[in-house]
Amino acid sequence: MATKHVYTFGDKQAEGNASMKNLLGGKGANLAEMNLIGVPVPPGFTITTEVCTLYYSKGRDQVVELIKPEVEAAVKNIENIMGTRFGDKENPCLMSVRSGARASMPGMMDTVLNLGLNDRAVEGIAKKTGNERFAWDSYRRFVQMYGDVVLDLKPASKEDIDPFEEIIDQLKEEKGVNLDTELTTDDLKELVKRFKKAVKDNTGRDFPEDPWEQLWGSVMSVFGSWMNKRAILYRKLNNIPDEWGTAVNVQAMVFGNMGQKSGTGVAFTRDAATGEDIFNGEYLINAQGEDVVAGIRTPQQITKEGSIRWAKLANVSEEDRKNNFPSLEEVMPTVYEELDKTQQKLEDHYADMQDLEFTIQDEKLWLLQTRNGKRTGAAMVKIAMDMFKANKIDKQTALMRVEPNKLDELLHPVFDTNALKAAKVVAKGLPASPGAATGQVVFHADEAEEWAADGKHVILVRIETSPEDLSGMNVANGILTARGGMTSHAAVVARGMGKCCVSGAGSVKISYKDRTLTSDGVTFKEGDWISLNGSTGEVYEGKIQTQEPELSGDFGELMEMADSFAKMKVRTNADTPHDSTVAREFGAQGIGLCRTEHMFFGEGKIQAMREMILAKDVDGRKKALGKLLPIQREDFEGIFEAMHDLPVTVRLLDPPLHEFVPHEEKEQQEMADLMGISLKEVQAKIDELAEFNPMLGHRGCRLGNTYPEISEMQARAIIEAAINLKKKGVKTYPEIMIPLTGTLAEMKMQEDIVRSTAEKVFEETGEKIDYMVGTMIEVPRAALTADEIAKSAEFFSFGTNDLTQMTFGYSRDDAGKFLPVYLQKNILKVDPFQALDQEGVGQLVKMAVKKGRKTRKNIKLGICGEHGGEPSSVEFCHRVGLNYVSCSPYRVPIARLAAAQAVVRKKMEKAAKKAAKKAKKANKKKK
Amino acid sequence: MATKHVYTFGDKQAEGNASMKNLLGGKGANLAEMNLIGVPVPPGFTITTEVCTLYYSKGRDQVVELIKPEVEAAVKNIENIMGTRFGDKENPCLMSVRSGARASMPGMMDTVLNLGLNDRAVEGIAKKTGNERFAWDSYRRFVQMYGDVVLDLKPASKEDIDPFEEIIDQLKEEKGVNLDTELTTDDLKELVKRFKKAVKDNTGRDFPEDPWEQLWGSVMSVFGSWMNKRAILYRKLNNIPDEWGTAVNVQAMVFGNMGQKSGTGVAFTRDAATGEDIFNGEYLINAQGEDVVAGIRTPQQITKEGSIRWAKLANVSEEDRKNNFPSLEEVMPTVYEELDKTQQKLEDHYADMQDLEFTIQDEKLWLLQTRNGKRTGAAMVKIAMDMFKANKIDKQTALMRVEPNKLDELLHPVFDTNALKAAKVVAKGLPASPGAATGQVVFHADEAEEWAADGKHVILVRIETSPEDLSGMNVANGILTARGGMTSHAAVVARGMGKCCVSGAGSVKISYKDRTLTSDGVTFKEGDWISLNGSTGEVYEGKIQTQEPELSGDFGELMEMADSFAKMKVRTNADTPHDSTVAREFGAQGIGLCRTEHMFFGEGKIQAMREMILAKDVDGRKKALGKLLPIQREDFEGIFEAMHDLPVTVRLLDPPLHEFVPHEEKEQQEMADLMGISLKEVQAKIDELAEFNPMLGHRGCRLGNTYPEISEMQARAIIEAAINLKKKGVKTYPEIMIPLTGTLAEMKMQEDIVRSTAEKVFEETGEKIDYMVGTMIEVPRAALTADEIAKSAEFFSFGTNDLTQMTFGYSRDDAGKFLPVYLQKNILKVDPFQALDQEGVGQLVKMAVKKGRKTRKNIKLGICGEHGGEPSSVEFCHRVGLNYVSCSPYRVPIARLAAAQAVVRKKMEKAAKKAAKKAKKANKKKK
């Protein structure tokens, strides 16, 4: 245990630094660091995490006694720097007290602001700010916050009202006003009185007037909050040890609303929208931080250049600008100069674009915060590549600077920012497939096609989509569904097409009969305009202009850089030559999942498929399959050709057969006529196909094993297609994938069908090609018995959509009923259909990798679930040692970047470990 | 490698014995053993498994050369004993050649019978048997079998016809006959000719006349069949190493149809129906084995006593009996005496009731086979206890002698055997709940109640049942459903009630509208009589008399003996005081699963439940829950009282809410009226509740976590019930069980609700009780993260029904579409809903046990899935170390016995291991 417990900072000096996070917590270490690099931040001090541990072992009194001298010295230091005095009537020093643990635990522990106010100091503040109401409002807020946090005047239960709010409500009723802001300064004074009385009544003691008592109370209360229920649960869920403890940061408060020589603002070291290297930001004189963002006053630009540009856009004359909206550069040139230097220093120090908050109190600049600035995807790429080219960061850092998911923005249309401002959100669903779309509402796929053929822009609106809607989805600008999750049919297909989709918008009521959709009280008829933001899930009323994306050279360079790091290949999920070509352009190195079921829809195909399903016996099925064979073969030829020289994983028929049968009587009658049987017979067969839980029903290889002739036809179509192309000089690498395998015997039976069919075709054609037979791992049992299954399977592809469904027992089509509540109540931290659940589902993946390799050393391993395009999941795949990930075409760039980042991150961890080891060794030697 | 390759046996001498299974195979070792204990079996010899290995390493020729001298000597030995000669014209010796591996591989490898026949020997047989047709039929069968097995004249593919059958068909056509039996002796001679020609045409060589060539061909062919595809796959699936090889058994053939001094029969050392210690059996003079069972001739009794008893039952006069149906004891007293001694010897040797096959050839007795005799459940118990009491077997052996599943027969009604003979099976479903039932068909639960109230016996026939049918099921004699598997609602509930049920009878078409059921072309109207066998799944036309079971003293003694061995407790799944009492009488030591959802059905209850479901908000739900609280509390009081002093595990609400809402408009309207809302509103809510995959939907703790007020009400009802009983002096041990937990946070949230509710009740009543909070482990993720979940759960109960569904991805309600095919094609060896899949699901159970105990050393572990009453699963539970199993009341005795057997079996394994170790050590010393 060290003998130093308090670390001061201020006036560009500090006793701590950024490397002391364990002792000072994240916030404390960073505050020290900013001082060290010469940035003016409000002075203060950090009480170490070790003191927190002492608090729990020795108790409050001993701790106070132990650190009192150090704290008193540190307060003195603040007073000296600020030229104020703690509790002073004229020039009081106010302070904030905040927790700050090693790991960020946002909102879990206590904070006290405006500490140091009492009946005397409030007068000083009133005088200094010239704003009595502000002074008293701050005071009453302080009493309320202190009363709650330190003196524990809380509502008795969740249903009960806060005791302080109760007092406020009562006073408002007495005064006949509705809003807090309608209360006068005298009312606020009255409130302070009544608050204090409530404290006395409840605690039996007066509210502490002594700022020192306030300070000790607050500090100890922060330590105490380390062990509150919320914090304990949070740590349990995040694996943060209780022993770490929290530090406490005490800092002088500064005010930007102390008159015309004060002000506040926010600034970016580069342009957050475009990434251009231009210092920019906004400020207001005599204002508090929240005023800048509140929008009541028009914020002014920091730089003169920015100010002039702004005036042009806002149609403000130079005269007007100079008089009413001058830049900080013009108003306070000295302060501006310091700010400019500071921003440069901060960006250089952190080697990243910074987002700053500053306050000017009496012409003195204080930096309240600096952090890496949020930015658009385009800015992210530009800044990373600019800094790399300027030798400010290395390749690895540049790669790590781009959030893979943000690349989406670069690949899809976005709304025109100005047009969006006036738009009204009428519903919110899931951000199923990114981009922006605007169009006229249609409710049926065939009508979408007709309208689109007439040159209209349409949004296809469905309760849910099915494979029958494919061609309609293809021509629509966007798709909106009322039901279904992130991996519903609509979502998966739309992402594959790179088309904007909002799914599962629960508040949207659709009437196919009336051809209306109603949401939030607004009804849209067929032909009305709506707009969708597939990146946020928002649905807007009316037409909103969109902008097409444009890919910069930086993007291509970044992607190449990524590929030079990545160990995993990135493939794509694609079912058509078009999708395959798109994906190839985005850098896909093969197809990881070619679903064959989509091929059965469309003209001429679905009839033969239905004939097969409705057939009475094997012979009838074989006859219908005979019609499907040339169709499938042709489809495969197209895809194989588009993917020449690259592997293509073809999955045999997976969905239950009832997904292919007609559900409307008209079509059923057509089918009956075609097959020469009665409508009743058709309907009886369709009824027979219905299932209680289709997800767990007669599908996947269960179809191929009960109707081997289906697998046989598909295997033949694949092999024949490959041989036909071989004759044309096109190289193909088909990988035939068995879906939904759960046992070795299931896999073996399918393998036998495929291999014996291939042998037959080889014999018939006199040609041979290389091919592989493998399986999806998507049933938990397949993962558990992967060592067995690998006896037959040459490759595994993790179907983590279904694996997640079955491992959690969540139907993705129904989870909309509880998943949002689970996320909101923090029962789940993320939607497991979006990011792979590494704790649970991940165990099965790991297990299958290990067992699969044990049986078959060189087994090929990949993932083709939706997770294959989600960065944290891609990283997981790298860590468990997969050979490739596969995702929808528009996510290929994201996966490429994520795959590279996974490598870099592992490298960094390794380096960090090595450094830690070295430090430990050096430390030992020292001792 | 040993230098001895052939082991002879015959004339009560043998070179091998029962302990040499590895070398001689199971069959060979047993044939030797029978000789050693002095039982006359047809002589022969065994070629060792080592020779099989040599066959694969050295090839056929070397092997023949190596073993030739030994085989020739062994054949000589057979000739000497039998007084026949191999290939002789007068007195030929015929032989059988059969495989016999270490582990039984039924039907996997080749067999050749009647070997030694040729154009000369066939004359000898004709003369000896006085039956030329028999001789030539045997000959043509031999040529056919040898041609197929050894010379490989097989159909070209599965669709093609067998080449020999083709010849037979052609000849039949020429002769204008339909049946093989219509062919004359000359026709058979013609067939042999044509068969031989086919062999010549196909192989280019004559059919071998030389019996030695036949013998070597057959022996080598058996070795060759060890590596056929079927056998390799079988071994792979059964983990039998290829290196083991098979032995070959060559044995003299004997014939019971060689005249009036020959005969054949089957016999049991005790009565297989009752277990009484009476030697009994049937025989026929001048007959082959198959004649006895074929039913063309009336078989005669072996003992005189049995013969006289038979005559009485068959209404045959003593005169008639003596003349036409005399016993073997009367006809051949010497042979009978030898047979009687032999049966006694065999029973003594194997210390179990034996089922013998014997043949008398020329007044010489030959035992062809002895094996432990099949017997009824009642006989099983009686024989085991009789032998134990007679000191013939010890306690452990007695316990192991009873197949637990057979106990079912003792607990349920059975059909009168005679009445059954005339009955016609009209459908077959799954044996969902054992027993026999007869009654009049009704289609609706409420009508079942009415009819039963009128004193009628009814069978409730439904497409499927739902909880609404409960009271109707309760009064029915039996239940028949067209859909649903072994764990469907009907099956689970019926087993709980101990009521006969046949489920998933797919061929049964039910029309509720017409009130008819049609199957196999027969239509039954409401009121028609049908009968069900719930132990076999058979459905019979008409009324069949049933017999009530009666429990013997032996049964009770056996159960007590079982309990003295068992380490696991046996609990029951019960939801009512009645079921609880029944289970207690069967020896249940607590309730392992009390489903609360069934309590919500029935008068007055379902309305309040529906009100809760249809409520618009929390307040509405709370109001309805307020009505449910006293109802639930009362139900719990009843169950707790019935189970006083024993633990009761209560599972909180599990099924999705749509299972409770009315699905017929009439009831929906009633509901709407009751709640003062419109029918449309009710229907909209019901539509909203519909799910694509309800199994994976909004159910289990997902309900309790989205509507915490439900869990709160249930927790309150449980705790209040326990406290009310405490006041009455009744001890209770409630264990509150959270269903469908998948994450720690889910469990923790439910635990918090339960505990805080309990604390409130304790405070309100001033009383405290002990209780536990735990969870079902039924979602794969729960098993994978059991270490986390055990932080909150005090006990785990494995819900292996759902765990099986999710691990395999099989919906038990839909699996009927592929599971039967999978079982038939041997893709699955057993239905995983019947016997726990130890390879896959079992891994998750083991994992959860290990992880659960790691976090919480004394965690209580049990199983409450249907597997808890299935013997192989019970054994698994014992092996992985569960504390208890829980099953439906009528399976409690089965589980008790299975739990005891698990202990004994492990003991036996341990002893065997120890002995093997000792032997190995001794062996080493020797060397």
DSSP character string of A486-499: TTSHHHHHHHHHT-
Please check the confidence at residue A292 and state whether its pLDDT lies above 70.
no
Return the structure tokens found at A93. Answer: 């020093």
Closest CA to B569 of B885, B873, B893: B885
Query: In 10 A of CB B921, how many CB atoms?
Result: 10
CB contact under 8 A, B236 and A791: yes
How far, in Å, CA of A227 to CA of A219, rounded?
14
Q: Is B739 on the interface with A (CB under 8 A)?
A: no
Closest CA to A718 of A652, A655, A776, A775: A652
A-to-B residue pairs, Cβ atoms closer than 8 angstroms: 181
For residue B121, the one-letter residue type is: A
Q: Is B512 on the interface with A (CB under 8 A)?
A: no
Task: Output B304 or A508, whichever has higher pLDDT.
Answer: B304
Q: What is the mean pLDDT of residues B468-488?
A: 85
- Which residues neighbour B444 within 8 Å (Cβ) at sequence distance 6 or greater? B472, B512
SS3 of A680, please? helix
> Can you name the residues that pair with B532 across neighbouring β-strands?
B437, B539
A828-847 burial, b at 16+ Cβ within 10 Å, e below that, comes to beebbbbbbbbebbbbbbbb
Asked if A482 contacts A465 with a C-beta cutoff of 8 angstroms, the reply is no
CA–CA distance from A223 to each of A67, A659, B264, B421 (Å)? 14, 60, 94, 85
pLDDT band at B882 (very low <50, low <70, confident <90, very high): very high
* Predicted pLDDT at B412: 85
pLDDT band at B131 (very low <50, low <70, confident <90, very high): confident
Q: What is the mean pLDDT of residues B244-267?
A: 89
* Predicted pLDDT at B494: 85
Q: Is A818 on the interface with B (CB under 8 A)?
A: yes
Residues of A in contact with B808 (CB under 8 A): 742, 779, 781
* Predicted pLDDT at A363: 92
CA dihedral B97, B98, B100, B104 (to 10 degrees): -170
Please check the confidence at residue A160 and state whether its pLDDT lies above 60.
yes
Q: What is the pLDDT of residues A811-832, one digit of tens each?
A: 988 898 899 899 888 899 899 9
Residues of A in contact with B805 (CB under 8 A): 696
- Which runs of E-coded beta strand occur in B4-120? 6-10, 13-14, 44-47, 85-86, 92-93, 95-101, 111-115
Please check the confidence at residue A463 and state whether its pLDDT lies above 60.
yes
Nearest CA in chain A to B745: A827
Q: Write down the mean pLDDT value for chain B.
A: 91
Asked if A808 contacts A840 with a C-beta cutoff of 8 angstroms, the reply is yes
CB contact under 8 A, A781 and B807: yes
> How far apart are the CA of A487 and the nearest CA of chain B, in angstroms?
14
For residue A126, the one-letter residue type is: A
Q: Which residue in this structure is represented by tokens 């134990």?
A: B388
* Phi and psi torsions of A783, nearest 5°: -65, -40
Please check the confidence at residue B288 and state whether its pLDDT lies above 80.
no
Q: What is the mean pLDDT of residues B96-102?
A: 91
pLDDT band at A289 (very low <50, low <70, confident <90, very high): low
Across the beta sheet with A13-14, what order do the strands follow? Answer: A13-14, A6-10, A44-47, A246-252, A95-101, A111-115
Q: Write down the mean pLDDT value for chain A.
A: 91
pLDDT band at A2 (very low <50, low <70, confident <90, very high): low
Return the structure tokens found at B819. Answer: 């599971």
How far, in Å, CA of A139 to CA of A190, rounded?
11
Query: pLDDT > 90: what percent of chain B?
Result: 66
Nearest CA in chain B to A791: B236
Please check the confidence at residue B745 and state whether its pLDDT lies above 60.
yes
pLDDT band at A89 (very low <50, low <70, confident <90, very high): confident
Longest alpha-carbon distance in chain A: 102
Please check the confidence at residue B323 and state whether its pLDDT lies above 90.
yes
Q: Is A810 on the interface with B (CB under 8 A)?
A: yes
Phi-psi region of A570 (alpha: psi -120 to 50; beta: other; left: phi over 0): beta
Please check the confidence at residue A40 and state whether its pLDDT lies above 90.
yes
Angle of CA points A593, A599, A605, to nearest 5°: 165
CB contact under 8 A, A784 and B695: no
* Predicted pLDDT at B296: 66
Nearest CA in chain A to B824: A706
Please check the confidence at residue B703 and state whether its pLDDT lies above 70.
yes
How far, in Å, CA of B602 to CA of B613, rounded?
16
CB contact under 8 A, B702 and A740: no
- Which residues neighbour B617 within 8 Å (Cβ) at sequence distance 6 or greater? none
Note the ipTM here: 0.79
* Catalytic hit among A5, A412, A489, A598: A489
Please check the confidence at residue A354 and state whether its pLDDT lies above 60.
yes
* Predicted pLDDT at B291: 66
Interface test with A, best of B689, B808, B812 (most A CBs within 10 A): B808
Asked if A435 contacts A500 with a C-beta cutoff of 8 angstroms, the reply is yes
SS3 of B47, please? strand
Residues 831 through 870 of chain B touching chain A, CB cutoff 8 Å: 837, 839-841, 843-844
* Predicted pLDDT at B303: 96
Q: Look up A864 and say whether it is catalytic.
A: yes
Tell me the whole-structure pTM to 2 decimals: 0.80
Active site positions of B, annotated: 489, 864
How far, in Å, CA of B266 to CA of B367, rounded?
10
Please check the confidence at residue B492 and state whether its pLDDT lies above 80.
no
pLDDT band at A294 (very low <50, low <70, confident <90, very high): low
Residues of B in contact with A706 (CB under 8 A): 817-818, 821
- Which residues neighbour B634 within 8 Å (Cβ) at sequence distance 6 or greater? B721
pLDDT band at A260 (very low <50, low <70, confident <90, very high): confident
CB contact under 8 A, A811 and B839: no
Residues of B in contact with A778 (CB under 8 A): 809
* Phi and psi torsions of A241, nearest 5°: -65, 140
Q: What is the pLDDT of residues A697-737, one digit of tens each?
A: 999 999 999 999 999 999 999 999 999 999 999 999 999 99
> Can you name the residues that pair with B35 across neighbouring β-strands?
none
Q: Is B746 on the interface with A (CB under 8 A)?
A: yes
CB contact under 8 A, B840 and A694: no
Residue A770 has what DSSP assignment?
-
> How far apart are the CA of B911 and the nearest CA of chain A, in angstroms?
31
* Predicted pLDDT at B487: 66
CB contact under 8 A, A696 and B692: no
Residues 648 through 707 of chain B touching chain A, CB cutoff 8 Å: 691-698, 700, 702, 705-706
Asked if A769 contacts A726 with a C-beta cutoff of 8 angstroms, the reply is yes
How far, in Å, CA of A710 to CA of A753, rounded?
10
pLDDT band at B292 (very low <50, low <70, confident <90, very high): low
Task: Output B25 or B234, whichever has higher pLDDT.
Answer: B25
CA–CA distance from B510 to each of B358, B467, B481 (Å)? 50, 19, 9
Could you say which of A779, A814, A826 has the minimum Cβ distance to residue B696? A814
Residues of B in contact with A815 (CB under 8 A): 697
> How far apart are the CA of B785 and the nearest CA of chain A, in angstroms?
6
Residue B740 has what DSSP assignment?
T
The two counts, helices (H) then strands (E), for chain B are 37, 34
Q: Is B824 on the interface with A (CB under 8 A)?
A: no
B26-29 long-range CB contacts below 8 Å, 24 or more apart? B26/B100, B26/B101, B26/B102, B26/B103, B26/B104, B27/B98, B27/B100, B27/B247, B27/B249, B28/B100, B28/B247, B28/B249
CB contact under 8 A, B821 and A748: no
How far, in Å, CA of B204 to CA of B197, rounded?
10
* Catalytic hit among A52, A501, A594, A864: A864
Query: pLDDT > 70: what percent of chain B?
Result: 98
CB contact under 8 A, A702 and B818: yes
Asked if B614 contacts B625 with a C-beta cutoff of 8 angstroms, the reply is no
Please check the confidence at residue B462 and state whether its pLDDT lies above 80.
yes
Could you give the angle at which helices A800-808 and B800-808 cross, rounded to 10 degrees? 180
Asked if A502 contacts A534 with a C-beta cutoff of 8 angstroms, the reply is yes
CB contact under 8 A, B827 and A237: no
How far, in Å, CA of A160 to CA of A181, rounded?
24
How far, in Å, CA of A266 to CA of B216, rounded?
98
